[in-house]
Amino acid sequence: MHALKTWLAALLLVSASWANAATPAVADPLPSWRDGPTKAAIVTFVEKATKADGSDFIPVEARIATFDNDGTLWSEQPLYFQGLFIVDQIKAMAPDHPEWASTPPYQYILQGDMKALAASGEKGLMELLAVTHAGMDNDAFTASVQQWIKTSRHPTTGKPYTAMVFQPMLELLAYLRANQFKTYIVSGGGQEFMRAWVEPVYGIPPEQVIGSQGGLKYVVDGGVPSLQKTADIVLVDDHAGKPVGIQRGIGRRPVFAFGNSDGDLEMLQWTTSGKGLRFAGLVHHTDGDREWAYDRASSMGKLDKGLEMATQSHWTVVDMARDWTTIYPATP
C-alpha cells in the first residue's frame, strides 16, 4: 500500500510540474507597483531573504515585518481616521456633558475646529480616547468601533474608511506573507481601535497589532468578569515608543519596516541597525490628484527629518504618484 501511495504521489508531482511548464510565468505579486527602483528594491530584498543558500538568507522565525498604519496602510487626511471616530463619539456624548462647550479640546470638536484638534497630535487623540472611554467595557468599545467603521463615510471622498486602504500595500503584505514573513502593525493609533477591524481588511490578526495602549482593569461583577478601559496611557506607540512597543509585543527586532512620517523613524532606525539584510521603506505622499500631497508642512503624518534620513541611510522612499498605478482597491 505504501509503495502505491509513493508512486501515486510521485506521479502527481510530475503531472503538477507538467502543468506548470504549460502555464505562463508566475503572476506579478505586486501588480499595482510600477516597475522601477522602488519595486525592484522590495523584490530584491525578498528574493535575497528567502534564498536558502544565499549569504543574506533570513530564517523564517526572524522574518518579522512591521508596518505603521496611518498614512502607510491607509490615508490619514484631513485627520487620522481614528480622530474622526473620536470626533463622532464626542459629538454623540456631548448632550450629557454641557461643560465640554467651553473646555478644550472638546470645544474644538464641537465648534468644528479640526485644525486646533489636529495640533494636539496622536497623543492628544489618545488622551481624548482614554478619557471619554474610561470605564467602558473593552468588548463594547470594539463593537462601537466596528459599527462606526461599517456605517461612516469619509468627509471628502464619501468612501467607507476601509475602502481607503492602499491597494499596493495590501499586495505587499500578501507578498511578504507568501514568503513566510509575519506581518505586524506597529502604529501610534489605538491598539484596540485597530484590532476591531484590521483582520479582514489587511489579513493581520489581533495578536499582530501593536498600537498605543490605554489602561485595562479586570473587574468581576456578579461573578461575570470583564475588562474595563481606564484613563491611563500605558504606551504611546510613536517615535521612540515604537521600538519599545515592538520589544514588548514581539520580542524580536524586525528585518523589514515601513512607515510614512517622522513618528516612524525610530522604528526604521531600530530595524535597520540590526545585523544582516534589512529593509526600511517610507511612503511619500506626493499625489495630490489621487490622494493628498504633503510632507514637511503637514500636521498629520509630517515627514521632515525622514527625507534626509532616508537619503543618508539608503532607505527606500515610495513616490506615490510615480510608483503606484492604483491607490485604493477597485470598488467591488
Name the site residues for its own copies (rule: CB under 8 A): 1-2, 4-5, 8-9, 11-12, 15-16, 18-19, 22, 61, 64, 138, 182, 191-192, 195, 205-207, 209, 213, 216-218, 220, 224-225, 227, 234, 240-241, 243-244, 247-252, 266, 269-270, 273
> Per the structure block, which three cell numbers stand in for 132?
471619554
- Residue 243 or 301: the one with the smaller Cβ distance to its own copies is 243
Least Å distance, CB 126 to its own copies, is 15
The three-point CA angle 318-320-324 to 5° equals 95
Say how far apart CA 288 and CA 296 lie, in whole Å. 15
Least Å distance, CB 236 to its own copies, is 12
Least Å distance, CB 5 to its own copies, is 5
- Residue 4 or 25: the one with the smaller Cβ distance to its own copies is 4
- Residue 9 or 92: the one with the smaller Cβ distance to its own copies is 9
Instruction: Read off the DSSP letter of residue 58.
Output: -
- Residue 119 or 219: the one with the smaller Cβ distance to its own copies is 219
Say how far apart CA 123 and CA 190 lie, in whole Å. 10
Sign of the torsion angle spanned by Cα atoms 197, 203, 204, 205: positive
The SS3 of residue 159 is: coil
Say how far apart CA 46 and CA 63 lie, in whole Å. 10
Least Å distance, CB 139 to its own copies, is 9
- Residue 163 or 240: the one with the smaller Cβ distance to its own copies is 240
- Residue 43 or 233: the one with the smaller Cβ distance to its own copies is 233
Least Å distance, CB 61 to its own copies, is 6
Pairing of strands 224-235, 209-221: antiparallel
One-letter amino acid of 139:
D
Q: Answer yes or no: are the C-beta atoms of 282 and 317 closer than 8 Å.
A: yes
Say how far apart CA 238 and CA 68 lie, in whole Å. 9
Nearest to residue 283, comparing CAs of 94, 112, 88, 38?
38
Residues in Cβ contact with 121 at an 8 Å cutoff, skipping those fewer than 6 apart: 299
Least Å distance, CB 153 to its own copies, is 27
Largest CA distance in the chain: 82
Say how far apart CA 7 and CA 120 lie, in whole Å. 68
Say how far apart CA 233 and CA 255 lie, in whole Å. 28
Least Å distance, CB 8 to its own copies, is 5
Least Å distance, CB 186 to its own copies, is 12
- Residue 242 or 302: the one with the smaller Cβ distance to its own copies is 242
- Residue 7 or 36: the one with the smaller Cβ distance to its own copies is 7
Taking each helix axis as running N to C, give the angle between helix 138-151 and helix 81-93, from 0 to 180 degrees, rounded to the nearest 10. 110
